[in-house]
Structure 1
Amino acid sequence: MKNKKVLAIVMAVMTAASALVGCGATEATAPADTAVTTEKEDDATAEAAQTTDGEQVTITFMHDWPEYEEEFKQMISDFEAANPDVKVETQIITWDVLTQTLTTAFAAGEAPDVACCWANQMGSFNSVGATYDLTPYLEENNNEWKDSLLAPAVQSGTVNDQVFCIPFRTTCTVLAYNKTMMEENGWEVPTTLEEFETLLGEAAKTGVTPLLTPGNPHGFQIASLVETFALHYMYDAGYLKNNDYLTGHYTDVAKEYAEAGARLRDWVDKGYIDADSLAMTREDSTGQFYLQKGLFAFVNNNELTDLEKNSAEAGFEIGVMAFPAPEGMPTLLHNFGVDGFMVYSGTKYPEQSARFLKYITSKDVQQKFGNETLSVMANKDCTYDNANQSEFAEIFSSAESYRKNYDYNAGDIGSDTGDLEAEFLSDPSETPEEFGQKIEDAYVKLLEENGK
């Protein structure tokens, strides 16, 4: 009976129509040919600052969480009751079409007043004139709103001291592990990369896949693994905190990516990850995890509800952890991001839009959403009773992240480099040095074509 139940879970995961919530594995940003028809300094924006003298106005609000439709309906209903001069009209999309939906809307001059976004898109969106500066609203009443939010989350949506993205919840690629399997084998949770490698070697001897690492599409979590390795080497090189790197102007990275590629090959050769991972999708990976054919799996923290439910149904308990760094190095989060909301530069109702965002990031609203969805929220006063949710919150508050926020249009650079990382793994004849140079060349080309 248990096997039938586990197989049912796996089939449900494999056939689910809902897409992954949270940040994507790629640097999703505006296409290079996007042209915004509404400029921030034109008459429409000046007109937008006018008051409506209490007359009811309608703002459009777009989010990419169809699975949370009821939660947002309630949130909006409560806001409208407290703000009778504002009606909120909702549009719902899915995360996988988010960037294209926005850039198409920007080009047509028909973007929603308030739209879901990832904070690391703000430099790119700002470069095409699509973002509204929310800094004055955040700084009202001696920074009251700004100080209620996690500082790193606010900073991730800040470009040249202007805040364009209001953080809603934090998101990151992390590791889930089979806690029951760990305990049965007497394995300790690793705290350093060296301990992690040793544990992966022990797990390989038992016949399970030590680390489930799906590579479809665009390299996916294999790309996350390579990028994490590269971060470790770049940290040692000492330039991660350089503003040129963080804004996409530093490109001398061939050496570090060559080292990352060599380590990836080594892990494949040792059986730490499956050589056939390139064909594996997220659904394949979680399916294998629920069948207990893998010890660790790359996941997004916003999948926690499904992870806990399905693993319990499959008969085991999960734990969560950040990908460990080498001894003596702080934990570095490659894919740390913010699911947030921006206000379109062409809005006629900036004050009402900002008021709505202030409401949905207030302590009570954020706490309720966090409790219902096991999300780690942007409001810094939220607390968490769930052990794994609390662990995520601790990771995000104590680790370091150096995710790029390009100050120019970055195109599809995340997908491009992910493809290069996948091609490297699939081609044994390509040397790590050749791979590292290809990654550097991709960044050089991007800067030459789009950088200011």
Structure 2
Amino acid sequence: MRKSVVLALVLILTLSAAGFAQTTIRLWFAGTPQALMDAMYDEMVPAFEAANPDIKLEVEFVPWSELSTKLATSFAAGVTPDIFMHGQAAIAEFVESNQLLPLDEFIADWPDKDDFGATLGSGYYKDATYFIPVFGAGRLLIYRADTFKEAGLDPDNPPTTWDELVEAAKALTVKQGNRFIRQGIDFPADGIDLQQVWAPFLWQAGGAFLTEDGTQAAFNSPEGVESLQFMVDFIYTHGASDVRTAQPVGNVSPIAADLVGMIFEVPGVLAQIKTYSPEVYPEIRVALPTKHVTQDTLYSFSGFMMSRHTVDKEKAWRVMSYLLSADSLEKINQAMATLPPRVSLAEAEFIAEDPNLKVYVEAMQFGRGNPNHPKWVQIRDIVSRYLERAMRGVMSPQEALDEAAKEVNRLLAE
């Protein structure tokens, strides 16, 4: 009898321990915004773990500058996080290298899927969905009402065409001899930022990065050359932009410091200005994209993907669906001053109370993303390198784009 009781207790304890055994789900979030890290660690993770005691959620914030390298290392070692974030243009590369699990089996019965509208399609590649968006951002023209008035411009009527953009930049430029006191318009000096600012002008001119079948470079077309020449001319013809990009003054952005009259930026810069230059923010304005042949601009989403190495798909999905809920996405996007992908959040309080964020939402209708190509990251880096040479006057726009196209075509032929 006593032996039976002991065995029963052992069985109960064993089953109890099994029932409460925790599975650790690791998630890498792209970027290191302090407000979001505070909300994640202080509120969101504890709330999730309280509702899901069988899951221990470990969230690591990875700087964008380190993300691709860190993921590549983890892929090679086969020790990836269960869930990780990246931009939508990385999907094809990760799918082709067999790093992702398709999410369709979870999405099929997910009651929230319709609230994502067309944004859910951003994660679609080769007949499956591998990515669900978390936040979106576009680069739009930011300017100041007070400096527009000072330059004789109407702050309620920002530039809508390329010609108007040139005239506004010239009017806003302030120089002392050959030294800029205020650049009329500022462009990034290099890297991804430069590519992202050029992309809308390429599309607005009617150009494209690649041929429709994705096998050849197309950006060195007459439209591509026209768009890059347009940017270069601000420096060397109009004298309205410096070859050197304006730098922040501590935490104060160049436009808040009145070092530039106009700048192309993502909505997160608005949060920076609110935090570090609150006295300037009432003067900040955002404009819809200019129109040339088209009115396109660059918008892209960053979102979650599930690793094929995940320890437990069902529990990983529970984490994803929690962080993709309307409540979580509102907290995430408010903390980052980014654009939520859910239709129901288009009028979220933090957007409705800020006219500048509302312009970013309105401009989404003109948005398009970079090509979803398996070799896009390498293509982008090649293009960025040659864009920099053109902006620095080392090569003409035609020479720079032709040389970039040669390198890209060699890459695509491999």
Is TM more than 0.5 here? Answer: yes
1:112 pairs with 2:81: yes
Determine whether 1:83 maps to 2:38.
no
Partner of 2:355: 387
1:71 pairs with 2:44: no
* Distance in 1 between residues matched to 2:250 and 2:162, nearest whole Å: 26
Q: Which moved more, 1:347-356 or 1:63-72?
A: 63-72
What's the secondary structure of 2:367's corresponding residue?
Answer: coil
1:357-396, Cα deviation, whole Å (9 max, x unpaired) = 1111111222233344432112221122222222212212
- Structure 1: distance between partners of 2:122 and 2:114: 15
Q: Which residue is equivalent to 2:14? A: none
Q: Deviations over 1:109-139 (max 9, x none)?
A: 0000011211110101111111110122112
Q: What secondary structure does 2:297 align onto? A: coil
Verify the 8 A CA contact 2:252 2:276 in the aligned structure 1: no
Which one of the candidate residues 114, 125, 135 is aligned to 1:147?
A: 114
Instruction: Supply the distance in 2 between the matched residues of 1:70 and 1:205 (Cα, whole angstroms).
Output: 41
Return the alpha-carbon distance in structure 1 between the equivalents of residues 109 and 216 of structure 2: 35
**Residue aligning to 2:203:** 231
State the match for 2:3 in structure 1: none
Say yes or no: does 1:179 pair with 2:145. Answer: yes
1:60 to 1, 18, 26: 26
* Inter-partner Cα distance in structure 2 for 1:410 and 1:221: 15
| Structure 1: unaligned runs, 5 residues or longer | 1-51
CA contact (8 A) 2:160 2:288 kept: no
Residue 134 (structure 1) aligned with residue 97 (structure 2): no
* % same residue: 20
Gapped runs of 5+ residues in structure 2?
1-17, 176-180
Distance in structure 2 (CA, Å) of the matches to 1:402 and 1:92: 24
Distance 1:156 1:446, change over 3 A: farther
Encode CA deviations 1:376-420: one digit per residue, 9 max, x unaligned.
112221122222222212212x213142011x2445322221111
Which has the larger Rg?
2
3-state SS of paired residue (2:372): coil
1:423-449 Cα deviation digits (max 9, x unpaired): 122235x33332231132132122112
CA distance in 2, matches of 1:181, 1:436: 35
Q: Equivalents in 2 of 1:100, 1:252: separation in Å?
A: 28
Q: Is the 8 A contact 1:223 1:422 kept in 2?
A: no
In the other structure, the counterpart of 2:219 is 253
Higher relative contact order (CA 8 A, sep 6+): 1
Aligned-CA RMSD value? 2.7
Is the 2:249–2:257 contact (alpha carbons within 8 Å) kept by the matching residues of 1?
Answer: no
Partners of 1:122 and 1:324 in 2: how far apart? 29
Q: Return the alpha-carbon distance in structure 2 between the equivalents of residues 364 and 421 of structure 1.
A: 41
Change over 3 Å in CA distance of 1:305–1:287 after alignment to 2: closer
Give the TM-score normalised by the residue count of structure 2: 0.83
| Residues 199, 295 of structure 1: alpha-carbon distance in 2 compared, 3 angstrom cutoff | same
Cα gap change, 1:303 to 1:264, in 2 (>3 Å): closer
Please tell me whether the aligned partners of residues 333 and 400 of structure 1 are also in contact (alpha carbons under 8 angstroms). yes
Show the counterpart of 1:6.
none
Structure 1 CA distance for aligned equivalents of residues 233 and 334 of structure 2: 41
C-alpha separation between the residues in 2 aligned to 1:283 and 1:157?
A: 38
Following superposition, the deviation at residue 205 of structure 1 comes to 6.5
Alignment of 1:3-402 (within 5 A): 55-66=21-32, 67=34, 68-73=36-41, 74-140=43-109, 144-151=111-118, 153-184=119-150, 185-187=152-154, 188-204=157-173, 208-215=182-189, 217-218=190-191, 220-235=192-207, 243-244=212-213, 248-255=214-221, 256-268=223-235, 269-277=237-245, 287-314=253-280, 317-326=283-292, 329=294, 331-334=295-298, 336-382=299-345, 383=348, 384=351, 385-396=353-364, 398-402=365-369
Aligned partners of 2:209 and 2:219 also within 8 Å: no
Counterparts in 2 of 1:379 and 1:226: CA distance versus 1, 3 Å: closer
Q: Deviations over 1:299-324 (max 9, x none)?
A: 22123211233343458621122441
177-186 or 56-65: bigger deviation: 177-186
Does 280-289 or 194-203 show the bigger shift? 280-289
State whether residues 308 and 318 of structure 1, in contact with CA within 8 Å, keep that contact through their aligned partners in structure 2: no
Alignment partner, residue 406 of structure 2: 441
User: What amino acid sits opposite 2:79 in the alignment?
Assistant: E
Offset at residue 287 of structure 1 (A): 4.1
Out of 382, 386, 389, the residue aligned to residue 423 of structure 1 is 389
Code of the residue aligned with 2:50 in structure 1: it is A
Contact 2:169 2:185 in 1 (8 A): yes
Contact kept? 2:274, 2:281, Cα under 8 Å: no
The Cα of 1:170 is off from its aligned counterpart by: 0.4
String of CA shifts for 1:162-205, please: whole Å, max 9, x gaps: 11111111022222211222244342312233322222232236
Q: Deviations over 1:34-67 (max 9, x none)?
A: xxxxxxxxxxxxxxxxxx9885322111113432
Contact map agreement 1:322 1:333 (CA 8 A) in 2: no
Q: Give the corresponding residue for 2:372.
A: 405
Aligned length: 379
